[in-house]
Structure 1
């Protein structure tokens, strides 16, 4: 390491002192150029790295608790098992960084760039991720309890974070996807982002369905089929478009049958269908086909209305 390669403008520290295992707690590295530096297992508690360049640096198992890393460049850095608890990471760039099993609890990551970062097994509990970019970041086995999210926080679906062919995923991979979606569901709900919470729940249920199918047994097949029926009929109990779409299809199809087979005018067939759908046929249906369709519409309409009430009562509690 030479002075040309690295510069430390604000503290009486020689570049050669910046090495693995060094105790540099409380040092001022603001605006420093430490690109590619190796500070593995170093003590950097309460250190100031504001506006510093740590791109490509090795900070494995480093203690950076309560450090200041505002606007710090940490692109492609190796931060596996690093301790960043309580650190201020506002607007820092962690794109492509390795943060496996890192402790990021109680950190301030607002506006931080974590795109394509590997956060597998990281602790993000009670972290502020408002307006943060996590596009392409791996959130499998991540703890998101108490995390702060905003509408501008960007997070990729966990199922897109499994490498390899999706057709070859096994029970363990689907379990990881389901758990990650459950963490997101809880975090979104706690932050009032109910729309995203519902989406996360659907993804969680789909992952559990695929996990059941991957069991390759009768029990798994039955569980898979039950989950499929739940998605088809109620959208896992939270998607209005599934139930409303089915209701409209039943109503319009029945009205068409009444118009063609019963000789009704379009207006009369629509009226007959809506009354039959919600209560029972206003008049005795004529012909075998009319009777069959009216019976199905009355029964299915009652069931659909029950489903609609269930979905409306459930979706906002997600």
Structure 2
């Protein structure tokens, strides 16, 4: 039950560090690699996690609030009961991650890479995922209707059962070269 506040953590490298019941508030992580980190009951509030390496992380019951996460590396990460709220996570890398009960709300994930991830109960509310890579993700039952995007990287076979708006259907039609005549 620690509070880490108003500081800079830079040039740090650790493998398989564990944080349990810690709150990071207004912390800048610079040139930091925390591969295989395990986070349980952790809150990041107004932190800058841009370009941090969390590859292979195991993240449980963790919330990111008002955080800058540009280019954050979460490759091969496991996320359970995680919330991203009011975050800027453009270019974040979630490739090959396993996400269950993840909520992404009021956040920007433009050009983020989720390719080859496994999703179960991933929910989006007012999220901008323009140009995000969703290749080889089973989107059956995933509701993207509250997301903003002009294009996505997707596989046709993975779209079955995905929930979208009528306007978004036009975007997908254009992605597949269809011409819609009105």
Asked if TM exceeds 0.5, the reply is yes
Change beyond 3 A, Cα 1:89–1:194: closer
TM-score, normalised to structure 1, is 0.48
Change beyond 3 A, Cα 1:147–1:316: farther
Query: What corresponds to 2:154 in structure 1?
Result: 155
Please say which structure displays the higher CA radius of gyration: 1
Cα RMSD after superposing both structures: 3.0
**In structure 1, C-alpha distance between the alignment counterparts of 2:28 and 2:98, rounded to whole Å:** 24
More helix by share: 1
Change beyond 3 A, Cα 1:57–1:196: same
Query: What corresponds to 1:188 in structure 2?
Result: 168
Q: What's the offset of the Cα at 1:142?
A: 2.0
**In structure 2, C-alpha distance between the alignment counterparts of 1:37 and 1:160, rounded to whole Å:** 31
Query: What corresponds to 1:52 in structure 2?
Result: 52
Q: What's the offset of the Cα at 1:18?
A: 5.6
**In structure 1, C-alpha distance between the alignment counterparts of 2:82 and 2:61, rounded to whole Å:** 4
Answer yes or no: is the 8 Å Cα contact 2:20–2:40 preserved in 1: yes
Answer yes or no: is the 8 Å Cα contact 2:17–2:38 preserved in 1: no
Query: What corresponds to 2:5 in structure 1?
Result: none
- 5+ residue gaps, structure 1, are 1-7, 162-176, 200-238, 241-314
**In structure 1, C-alpha distance between the alignment counterparts of 2:167 and 2:97, rounded to whole Å:** 23
**In structure 2, C-alpha distance between the alignment counterparts of 1:16 and 1:133, rounded to whole Å:** 28
**In structure 2, C-alpha distance between the alignment counterparts of 1:35 and 1:60, rounded to whole Å:** 15
TM-score, normalised to structure 2, is 0.80
**In structure 1, C-alpha distance between the alignment counterparts of 2:65 and 2:167, rounded to whole Å:** 24
Answer yes or no: is the 8 Å Cα contact 1:40–1:60 preserved in 2: yes
Change beyond 3 A, Cα 1:77–1:28: same
Answer yes or no: is the 8 Å Cα contact 1:185–1:196 preserved in 2: no
Within 5 Å, which residues of 2 pair with 1:128-167? 128-151=128-151, 153-157=152-156, 159-160=157-158
More strand by share: 2
RCO greater where, 1 or 2, for CA within 8 Å and sep 6 or more? 2
**In structure 1, C-alpha distance between the alignment counterparts of 2:26 and 2:17, rounded to whole Å:** 14
- Match of 1:64, SS state, is strand
**In structure 1, C-alpha distance between the alignment counterparts of 2:59 and 2:52, rounded to whole Å:** 14
The count of residues paired between Structure 1 and Structure 2 equals 172
**In structure 2, C-alpha distance between the alignment counterparts of 1:127 and 1:156, rounded to whole Å:** 21
